[in-house]
Structure 1
């Protein structure tokens, strides 16, 4: 069993999947029109915001897995799932890819340097751990915006500000089991 930073990135990946499950699950209560309706945020709608999260996940996970085609796809249009039901399934698959990657990490592999490919420039390498931290922060940032957008609809925004605190397992047990995640 992983300990230290390796265990932490696994916990973050599990929490990330749980938060995405809650947020996109709530968005399933919207019509396609409500999902795409203009709203205030960095991106103009829930649809665009949540598809952006998925696109960035795909890019970073492919880069972390050292997929040689990742740069060729950098400028591809992002996914555009028109309803939350289909986006939920795509995000869930992406979340499981991220969990799988994180579960395979060790302290040593997290310290390795990796260059994130970018068009027209080669940035210096970052540690795998730093890249994962950046990806998790990106998710939190845009999920928060989507959460605020959802508050402007008839659907109650779900609680997203929880982690895995002792004594609260009963609050998340069913959801984590449904996601195939260990109950923490």
Structure 2
């Protein structure tokens, strides 16, 4: 019988899956004009542009904290740090790589590491695994909103509700190649 996957492996896989979903969504958004990207739509944030920039901002906030940084509320100074998709895609990919690297560095004991999150008026201290689960949920929530907004455009929204079934590796091989990944890297084999 094979040993069950560790928490560290699960968090790593979630970080890779998160980056893959961002890659898919942003690649689809590349089919939008700037006007469509900025157009007012129904959602928590008023546009695809604002929603995707919010994801980036929050990622930067939490990833910085998990890396030991003190960015804190300064992360929220500019609500649209990347007004054009051509700027947003590499910025999101960069923070996604940082998140993957953080998760790769955890090990089983590191998931319980206490992270200092600078909130401005106070420093919140929380376990890395709890912050990671919160961050992944935040991503899924807002990517879903952007996905729904995208369905109101001429661009077909990509499928984002997939994880990594082993038998479906050929279906993601092209995107993994674009990201510079292998199945072995994702699963730590």
Choose which of 45, 49, 52 in structure 2 pairs with 1:50.
52
**Partner residue, 1:97:** 98
Rounded to whole Å, the distance in 1 between the matches of 2:76 and 2:34 is 26
Alpha-carbon distance between aligned partners in 1 of 2:164 and 2:76, rounded to the nearest angstrom: 37
Residue pair 1:41, 1:145 contacting (<8 A) in 2 also: yes
Distance 2:31 2:73 in 1: 36
Partner of 2:172: 172
For 1:137 and 1:33, the matched residues in 2 are separated by 29
- Quickly say closer, same or farther: Cα 1:74–1:35, change in 2 above 3 A: closer
Structure 1 unmatched ranges of 5 or more: none
Instruction: Find the counterpart in structure 1 of residue 61 from structure 2.
Output: 59
Asked if structure 2 preserves the Cα contact closer than 8 Å seen for 1:14 and 1:181, the reply is no
Runs of 4+ in 1 over 6 A off after TM superposition: none
Residues 122 and 81 from structure 1, CA distance in 2 versus in 1: closer, same or farther, beyond 3 angstroms? closer
CA contact (8 A) 2:32 2:155 kept: yes
Q: Classify 1:75/1:52 alpha carbon distance in 2 versus 1 (closer, same or farther; 3 Å).
A: closer
| Alignment CA distance shift 1:72-1:145 (3 Å) | closer
Task: Tell me which moved more, 69-78 or 134-143.
Answer: 69-78
Give SS of 1:168's match: helix
Does structure 2 conserve the Cα–Cα contact (< 8 Å) formed by 1:31 and 1:83?
no
CA RMSD of aligned residues (A): 1.4
Aligned to 2:11: 9
Per the alignment, residue 117 of structure 1 pairs with 118
> 1:6-37 deviations in whole A, cap 9, x for unaligned?
10111001101110010000001001110000
How far off its partner does 1:175 sit? 0.5
Q: Do structure 1's residue 26 and structure 2's residue 35 form an aligned pair? A: no
Report the alpha carbon displacement of residue 91 of structure 1 after superposing the two structures with TM. 0.6
CA distance in structure 2 between the aligned counterparts of 1:151 and 1:72, rounded to whole angstroms: 32
Q: Is the 2:8–2:107 Cα contact (8 Å) retained in structure 1?
A: yes
Q: Specify every segment of 5 or more residues in structure 2 that has no aligned partner in the other structure, as ranges.
A: none
Structure having the larger proportion of residues in helix: 2
SS at match of 1:96: helix
